[in-house]
Structure 1
Amino acid sequence: MKVNYTIELLLPAVTASLGVIGKDIDVTVKKDKDGYPIFNGKHIKGILRERVYQFKRALGVEEKEIENFVNNYFGKEGNYIKNNSFNQIRFSNLTIKDKKSYANKINVEKLIGNRYGIRINRKTRSTVPQSLFNYEFLSRNNVFVGSLDINDNIKNEDLKFILACLFHLDKIGGMKSRGIGKVRVKINGNYLEGENGVVETKSLDKIISELKREDKKASTELKTDEFVKYNYTLELEEPIVLKSIELGNYIKTRNSVQGSTVRGALIEYFCRKGYDLNVLKNIEASDATREDNKVSLASLFETKYEIKNEGNKKVKIDKVISSDTEYKDGTKYERSSSSDFKATGNEISVKISTKLKSAENGMLFNTEYINNTKEEDKNNKQKNEIKFPTENIKLVGDLKLPKEISQEKFIVYIGKYKFKGFGKATITIKKYSDTNKADLEARINNLSDKVRKDIESKIGKETEKEIRNEIQDKDKKVICFDLYSDMIIPFTDIYDAGEQFLMLAGLKDENLKFNLKRSFINTGKLEGFNIINGVRKVDELIFTKGSVFTYIIEENACDSILEKLTKIEANGLGLRKNEGFGRVRICSERGGK
């Protein structure tokens, strides 16, 4: 069930974002990418957890029982799908209620102010030298909205206790000891009965009785052998954290949504609905890519600087079909670093000791996150301008679901911190259609013609040295394998990427000659956990998404392997293909000139 609540600022409040070194403000109001103030779900979860702990202790409940209650509803490390009762509460971010009014009034009514403060030495009761600082705050009467997602099977007495604790949150944000941050809470549009000076009050029992509970029991049984393929669109509703590397308390995010991430989110969604986990394990999903369904290939290069004759834009080429090393004016080409998206901010937080009410030593966390809205055009972006409305990022892919599932839209949660205001997304599915409609043989012929023309254009010129080793093979067919997802390889070492790829593809004996000059291969190591039972997966070697393997072959030999190539596109290569790894496109349309 969803519990919507509103928090009204009775006094100014600080969202406790760190300031920027060298700037005038030491502590700034935390804002989202579009400029609106925000309280992260992590913060709300922390203060509600603390209030639950305080009330339980005040009632004389034993520590062990309190710990079990808190772990059950606020989570603990190791919450995985298998044997999970899904009782953990999910917290959304607190966002400004009326964004349009806020955007219009921000400069008129000064809804954000700033103050000066100074630190006091508690022992000497005198000021600490050079401790003067200033901080921004949100003015009183700002209203924020958020929601809690609670399991429908929660016991009534537990739900009543948690909502009572929510009603009795009296302060929010940072610097509460300085007399700021006082708030008042409404749940589903109502104040708690007995609240002074307000209308629209209801008893807690009445509020709980009006909450809508869904029947989580699955309406049909799933069969293991009947799966249907769909196209899906993934729309990001909240910022997401996709862990790439974790270094101590620092988490670096990935720049793409892997198929395994989408698959895991779907398995969890349907498992919550009561479907058989053993059948759900057979769900398959591809990586979520941009709406044009194209991947930024490693063969894509661009000029180091903008070119005046090209409208002050960088010129892009694909090195599979062009062997140029520099633009006509001598500007060098370098790797293009475009990706599906990139980190747009950092969430910095500290762990607070429930007992001591102070920060725990060494518990400062820094997490990169990706915003859910599209980047603004740099030419149209103005400093401090608030845009309304904003458009969510949409990604596409394909997946396989049990035939009995007829639902077309799912709200899922992906990445880390799913219970703390990150990762909410909507998946919409429709009947599968292949967007790669061009015939495979036609694609091979088209690419081969472009490569041949590139070689012929340099013969007899100073640039002939760039393609000298390819002249004798210019009339042969060119086959290019583009990785549309990471490919997990069953090797302990990479000693000859071109040869090992042919072994994986079953093409080692097909007289394919590796073209090193027109191949662009990146490798890496894949880490991860099994979300079903929490077992850490063994690190595996991968050819990373966007890598390009190029081969040449005689024309008659090419005709004989077309069937094999078609199967490679349909089935993929490498390990864990059901999780979206190993997707391959052959001779896909090249970007650039």
Structure 2
Amino acid sequence: MMKYIRYIVKNDEPLRIADDSTSQNGQTVTLRYIPGTTIRGYIVNQLVYTLGEQFDKYKRDLISGQIVYMNAYLYENNRELLPSPKGFYEDKTVVTEKKEIQNVVINGEFDDGNKRAGLGKFCYFKDQCIYYYNVETGSDMKILINKRKQDDKQNVFRNEYITSGHTFVGYIKVDDEELAKAILEVFQKNIFLGNARSQGLGKCRVLDIKEMPEDFIPYQEYAVTDDAENTCYMMLLSNTAMRDNRGEYVGLDLKYLEEKLGVSNLRIEYCSTSTVNVKGYNRAWGSKIPSITMYEQGSVFKLKFDGSASLENMLKIMQSGLGVRKSEGFGRVLFLKDYENIRFKMEEKHRAEDFTQESPNGNDMQDLKILASNYYKKEIIQAMQEKIAKEMQEDKAFSVNAINLNNSQIGNVRGLLEANRYDAYGTETIKRYFAHAMEKEQNTNVQKQKSSIKALKDTILPILDQPLEQTLGMKHFTKIMGISVDELISEEELQRMKIDYILELMKFDNRKGVK
């Protein structure tokens, strides 16, 4: 009997899982979720060591359809989030906290002038409203010293990553009790995922892992609860492609889906979709595998048919998935409940820390310290937001335009700040950069209007040097809940928050300059 293992992990360090479909030369973009292929790779590599000679016994099952490794998506406020659905439009000129939106998938219509609604990356549905979240990302810049171009210039490239502090939930579907037990044993405490693990990225903490009841179906709370008469809405939980009866790739094989639903004359009345070019690499062959064009997760289809699609048939499809590479997490679908009733959207904020998280050793003082640390960080973040909002209102924030530098100089400084956010010696590196830049300017006697970097140095370095509370004009804390603030936040974290504050000011100034 197939069972689901549910795992919840939190990335204590930045996490980078390259998105080959959108990455370009010189820049690597990260996925905003943990794909099933990443989880499969970690488990297989760990079981090679833990099972020893027995590994050959399970090797075929681990990489075949006997085990399904589903994608891990964002987990917020003890709630499992879905990929944000496509098909919603909004009036961009209206700005409200809870905003009305229109669903084009219902009848193919929306008001003139409306544009695609921004719904972040993940969401949940409640009371006719989509509550959506974004995944916070950062980037670093590196130089390939040993791979110079013919003109002998160093090859500079930028890598994006998910910032630390996000929580993800995913599932592994397995039908072998011994193998399930082995997976549970290796998926404990800290695990390391994604790219650049040797550079300190990818460390994730397992917050919870357990077997689910036999009748459990992931994300069933969003699914239909009754038979569907003539119409249903199907959303893709992961990228999906199918093969037709000739073996050729198609988006949806309606004949196959018609048979599985037990209906006739199945057709797509309306839909809202996008496609993605899914690539892969076979380590056994030592080469890339052929890419596949798939419908992207979040694509929504309004299906019309003659007859009634039974709840049992729809649940079976949700359990088994559709199309190719299902064992890697592709082809997961959801038949939506009350989807046509959604009329509003509202943004929710990601919490970098989990207030309800249990301490690993159950120590009460450790729990109190976690709570106090989160409270202090929340106060700092709120003070940052208020300070930036005030300066925006007074139109006097970090004035790059007043400093009068050219775009390349500003870009270099911004890249330097981003690259040193997680470096323990980042502040010293930034100071050395400005010292070198000032010395270079003096030696070359540059007199051009957009040349001096001194004003930028005089703005940034005081923020890095002085206490963050003083910069933000916030209340000075010595203790929180009886614990010294020095124990609640490290110097590295304070440095990162200072750099984040500078970057936000620079972003504001950049937007201010755009008319």
Give the TM-score band, short-chain normalised: 0.3 to 0.5
- Tell which has more relative contact order, 1 or 2 (C-alpha 8 A, sep 6+): 2
TM-score, normalising length: structure 1 = 0.39
